[in-house]
A and B are shown apart, each in its own frame.
Chain A
């Protein structure tokens, strides 16, 4: 019998699902090697089908997206019980991702802001004798492994076809990677960067430029051109797709294994390239990073060492 796989999405944009489809023909190889028994975006299996399965009967569940509400938490727990291996797929599941930036505020403030005078999507809502029950919106966005035990992580927003193929191969191989492994190269993106040779030994900048204000040269290190590129702090594996599109790295592959807090390290690497010594000038130089949390924790606020940020 072929091993069984499930795919599921929690708080995510759908890009990770797209990435699986982007495997193209390789998807057929995957489909030949395994039975996909649950994949709401593509296949018509229901939650009750999963509930009917024996615990541990799936080889692996690939779960993308952060955990944002009670429904996602229940699904994550259900798939955990049914699977021998759970893979946090994509940066939202791994580190909290873009939805994690909501942790700068709380659920009530968000609902008030967005729906103050409209139809409020409350967990329980009644009208004309009908009751609608929606999943409860949690106050905080969580990584998948804050909700359930996770075996492997596939980084990226979304993971690239190459990374997904390697991850599936690793799972089907006789020797599984060690638990907790991030299934991508453990080195910095700069090492894979096609512009690597143009990066000066010492970066000496007077200011940061914002990406929409300059036309960047397409053959030179973006950091050397004054753009905040997180390549030095970000794990390799994407083959520098953004840089090939002449856009700086925003850090979606997360940190390497030596780093505990991606945002802190990315900030450290970024601040260090400013070559100013006067306090006032340094402050001015940093104005090119008007939103440090959004810049350095774009994909990983729920994994910040600081934990939950209070807005009170």
Chain B
């Protein structure tokens, strides 16, 4: 059972750094786990906590946010905003039974294709060990 479990990861990658890094990983023919559904956003600061909740609500086993390194944000401060929201949201998700391994924020620059590979592979491995998320769908009233 554990062997056949393929975690689904929804990844929000910023247009200027992490998405380019994922592109670079592709053109460099780096192989990494195919479990990620990448969503390109203009900035990690654009990732509304509602997006994260919705991803989990619709069955994601993990959510990954990728942005520019601190100081490198194309919009100066967007990644710091992402960091602040991430920290509070992570704690709230903990209260809702979502473990830290399922929600990650990573700084990956446009030159770090290799890092996309290692982060994704690492996350997939951890989610596989954790198993599928015990579903928490809204229950119908009897």
A contact set with B: CB distance below 8 Å: 67, 70, 73, 104, 136, 138-140, 142, 146-147, 259-261, 263-265, 267-268, 270-272, 274, 276-277, 279, 282-283, 285-286, 289, 291-293, 296, 304-312
Which of chain B's residues has its CB closest to A73's CB? B141
Residues of chain A within 8 A (CB-CB) of B85 are 267-268, 271-272
Stretch of B31-39, B45-53, B119-127 with 4 or more beta carbons under 8 angstroms from chain A: B45-53
Number of A-B contacts (CB under 8 A): 111
> Among A261, A285, A307, which residue has its beta carbon within 8 angstroms of that of B50?
A261
Q: Are A305 and B53 in contact (CB under 8 A)?
A: yes
Residues of chain B within 8 A (CB-CB) of A70 are 142
Q: Are B56 and A140 in contact (CB under 8 A)?
A: no
B109-142 vs A, CB cutoff 8 Å, 1 = contact: the mask equals 0000000000000000000000000111111111
Which of chain B's residues has its CB closest to A283's CB? B87
CA separation between A122 and B84, bound complex, in Å? 45
Interface residues of chain B: helix, strand, loop or mixed (majority)? helix
Q: Are A264 and B97 in contact (CB under 8 A)?
A: no
A-B contact pairs, 9 of them (CB 8 A): A142-B141, A146-B138, A259-B50, A261-B49, A267-B85, A271-B88, A276-B84, A305-B54, A306-B53
Q: Are B49 and A309 in contact (CB under 8 A)?
A: no
- B83 beta carbon closer than 8 Å to chain A: yes
Q: Are A267 and B139 in contact (CB under 8 A)?
A: no
B88-103 vs A, CB cutoff 8 Å, 1 = contact: the mask equals 1101100111000000
Q: Are A271 and B89 in contact (CB under 8 A)?
A: yes
10 A-B pairs besides A104-B95, A296-B92 with CB distance below 8 A are A140-B139, A263-B92, A267-B85, A267-B88, A279-B87, A282-B83, A306-B96, A308-B137, A309-B95, A310-B135
Q: Are B134 and A310 in contact (CB under 8 A)?
A: yes
CA separation between A311 and B95, bound complex, in Å? 9
Q: Are A310 and B97 in contact (CB under 8 A)?
A: yes
Chain B nearest CB from A254 CB (Å) reads 15
Residues of chain B within 8 A (CB-CB) of A142 are 141
Number of interface residues of B (CB under 8 A): 31
> Among A259, A267, A312, which residue has its beta carbon within 8 angstroms of that of B134?
A312
Residues of chain A within 8 A (CB-CB) of B49 are 261, 264-265, 267-268
CA separation between A312 and B131, bound complex, in Å? 13
CA separation between A308 and B97, bound complex, in Å? 11
Residues of chain A within 8 A (CB-CB) of B89 are 264, 267, 271, 292
> Among B84, B135, B142, which residue has its beta carbon within 8 angstroms of that of A274?
B84
CA separation between A277 and B67, bound complex, in Å? 14
> Among B48, B88, B91, B97, which residue has its beta carbon within 8 angstroms of that of A309?
B97
Chain A nearest CB from B82 CB (Å) reads 10
Chain A nearest CB from B33 CB (Å) reads 25
CA separation between A286 and B84, bound complex, in Å? 8
Residues of chain A within 8 A (CB-CB) of B52 are 264
Q: Are B80 and A277 in contact (CB under 8 A)?
A: yes
Chain B nearest CB from A277 CB (Å) reads 5
Chain A nearest CB from B139 CB (Å) reads 5
- B30 beta carbon closer than 8 Å to chain A: no
CA separation between A136 and B135, bound complex, in Å? 24
CA separation between A190 and B54, bound complex, in Å? 27
CA separation between A276 and B136, bound complex, in Å? 34
- B70 beta carbon closer than 8 Å to chain A: yes
Chain B nearest CB from A79 CB (Å) reads 15
CA separation between A311 and B137, bound complex, in Å? 13
Which of chain B's residues has its CB closest to A311's CB? B97
> Among B87, B96, B137, B140, which residue has its beta carbon within 8 angstroms of that of A271?
B87
Residues of chain B within 8 A (CB-CB) of A136 are 142
CA separation between A310 and B136, bound complex, in Å? 6
Q: Are A73 and B142 in contact (CB under 8 A)?
A: yes
Residues of chain B within 8 A (CB-CB) of A277 are 70, 80, 83
Which of chain B's residues has its CB closest to A279's CB? B83
Residues of chain B within 8 A (CB-CB) of A272 are 81, 84-85
CA separation between A278 and B49, bound complex, in Å? 20
Q: A272-B84, A279-B83 are in contact. Are A305 and B134 (CB under 8 A)?
A: no
